[in-house]
Structure 1
Amino acid sequence: MADDTLRSVTLQRTSLGQYEVHNARGGTIVVGVGDGTDFTPVELLLAALGSCTGADVDYITSKRAEPDSFSVQVTGDKVRDETGGNRLVNLTVELRVTFPEGAAGDAAREALPRAARMSHDRLCTVSRTVALGTPVDTRTEP
């Protein structure tokens, strides 16, 4: 029986500082180190935070009304110090969502703050993992 809890991606080096990332469903993205237009690993982390929260909020609020507009901006400051090394601080996920006038839009607007809290507090695997500080086990194979 397959382990339905396992999540994975595989990276393949294509050139110095550039990698193709593959998922089990056949999707591919290119990741770089910031020399070109490819997303960097930090940008992908920010995208993961925003898309995870955005999807949670979208599914909850869209049951009430389809949004007129829906965008998510994720920001963070990269710092380097002696105690923590390179890392992001001041992570912020900002949802900008508008709904149509009327009862359905009112219900969606009312649900929006609660949906954002639910995502942050328990639903979004990405932000929960970051907030709880899950250890990373880095290994090498011969």
Structure 2
Amino acid sequence: MSDPTPDPTLRSIDLTRIGERRYKATNGRGGQLPIGSGDDPDFTPVELLLAALAGCGAVDLDHITGKRAEPVRFDATAEGHKVRDEQGSHLVGLRVTFDVIFPEGEDGDRAREVVPRTLQQIQDRLCTVGRTVALGEPVAYVEKA
């Protein structure tokens, strides 16, 4: 008999081919995201990784600073260089830059004050995506039996 309790640590998506070099990722909540090879407007897998790095940090930064003040502006840029060397294709020089402005006043000052510490916490322990990349968890590509 199988355990009816789902594993609370498991995260997954399903990917379906929707055209030539185009795919659709679907999460368990029904959200969908088109993925392409770069020949169309769809995000490429590399761009999705960069978006995941920025998004992961943004969620944490917004959660922590948002307890103090709502930002007037909240933008981020994620970048890296795609290289091919003796280790194969990979990204180097990964960097996420946040451009966040809070309102004038005491609440805005409190939010600004926690940004440096929060960014360090995001890098060191909070962002699952960034931590996985930094720790270098192996990925297994397998065929369904």
Q: TM bucket by the smaller chain?
A: over 0.9
Deviations 1:18-71 (A, max 9, x none): 001110001111100000100000000000000000110000001011111000
- Measured in 1, the distance between the counterparts of 2:87 and 2:13 equals 26
Partner of 1:125: 128
- Measured in 2, the distance between the counterparts of 1:128 and 1:80 equals 23
Task: Provide the alpha-carbon RMSD of the alignment.
Answer: 0.8
* Equivalent runs, 1:72-91 vs 2, <5 Å: 72-81=76-85, 83-91=86-94
Alpha-carbon offset, residue 141 of structure 1: 2.5
Report percent identity of matched pairs. Answer: 52
* Equivalent runs, 1:92-107 vs 2, <5 Å: 92-107=95-110
Alpha-carbon offset, residue 2 of structure 1: 1.0
Partner of 1:31: 35
* TM-score relative to the length of structure 1: 0.97
Matched, 1:52 2:56: yes
Alpha-carbon offset, residue 84 of structure 1: 1.1
Partner of 1:12: 16
- Measured in 2, the distance between the counterparts of 1:55 and 1:117 equals 14
Secondary structure in structure 1 of the residue aligned to 2:25: strand
Unmatched segments (≥5 aa) in structure 2: none
* TM-score relative to the length of structure 2: 0.95
Partner of 2:137: 134
Deviations 1:64-103 (A, max 9, x none): 111110001000000001x211000000000100111111
Secondary structure in structure 2 of the residue aligned to 1:76: strand
Aligned length: 141
